[in-house]
Amino acid sequence: MAEYRGSIDIDAPPEVVFEHLTTPEGMVAWMGQHAVLHPEPGGEFTVDVDGTPIRGRYVEVEAPHRMVVTWGVAGSEEFPAGSSRVEFRLTPTTTGTRVDLEHTGLPGTKGSGYAAGWVYFLDRLRTVAAGGDPGPDLLTVTTRELFDDLAGEQLRRPGVVMGRAMRKDVLRVHDRVYAFVTKDRLVVKLPAEVTAAMVDGGEAVPFRSGGRPTREWVMVPKPTMPAELDRWRRLVTEARTYVATPSAPATSSAASPARRRSRSAGPG
């Protein structure tokens, strides 16, 4: 069996944090899309998390300091409903609350996945309980939805418009393409030395045009953590800055016929 233990500090009192563990609206603000919660011993604990039907029961409820539930997946033979145990301990601190989480009884094959999942969701709990906006749930939002959000930010910049190229919606600055999404990845144009370092470091793969890898275009995987979404945002901004500079090679709908025939040069 596997287990996970983790801790976070939240800038909110235990009473506020506890509500996010025991009320449906509080729960889905940081984890899941639907919840039915009856916070009393033996009470129902139902949360649908990104298409996974989590089912269990409240075992112990000591408001606002401790909560224990059973946890499993409805219909699963490997990880049936109520087959593991999750405990939250809330301790007052000078700045708010320390949350200690312990998830025991996990099937061995689920250990690493749940460790990553709890890190992700606890970070969202920290933000929500403190009154912040955790942003989109990166486990359910589509790549296109993320790109549209970033495009909304970019379109407020001078010279930036949304256009069409290669049968895709693309971001342009001064009629030069600098970002779009394809195959569940972000594609950006950056200096060749930057893209080479990204590829060498395993952060991206070359974008292929006409079957050939391009030097200045790379594809970056869909983010699964907030820091990775911030990186997407930073790369799009860097791409806009690079393409907008007069020295950057043009990628324009006004390119010459010879340039348009040279598909290896990148998107047009």
Q: Over the stretch 54-75, which tens digit does the pLDDT of each residue have?
A: 999 999 999 999 999 999 999 9
H or E element at residue 84: strand 84-92
According to the model, what pLDDT value does residue 264 have? 41
Evaluate whether 215 touches 208 at the Cβ level (below 8 Å). no
> Which two structure tokens, joined as six digits, stand for 199?
């590829």
According to the model, what pLDDT value does residue 139 have? 84
Report which of residues 217 and 166 the model is more confident about: 217
Handedness of CA 84, 9, 235, 155 (dihedral sign): positive
Burial 84-108, CB ≥16 within 10 A → b, else e: bbbbbbbeeeeebbbbebebebbbe
Q: What is the pTM of this model?
A: 0.74
pLDDT by residue (tens digit) across 187-230?
999 999 999 999 999 999 999 988 899 999 999 999 988 888 99
In order of their start, the domains of the chain are 2-129 (3.30.530.20), 143-265 (3.30.1460.30)
H or E element at residue 226: helix 226-244
- pLDDT at residue 257 greater than cutoff 70: no
pLDDT by residue (tens digit) across 104-149?
999 999 999 999 999 999 999 999 999 999 988 988 889 999 999 9
- pLDDT at residue 254 greater than cutoff 90: no
According to the model, what pLDDT value does residue 181 have? 96
> Which two structure tokens, joined as six digits, stand for 245?
């500079």
For residue 262, name the pLDDT band (cuts at 50, 70, 90): very low
According to the model, what pLDDT value does residue 19 have? 98
- pLDDT at residue 102 greater than cutoff 90: yes
- pLDDT at residue 268 greater than cutoff 60: no
What is the average pLDDT score of the chain?
A: 91
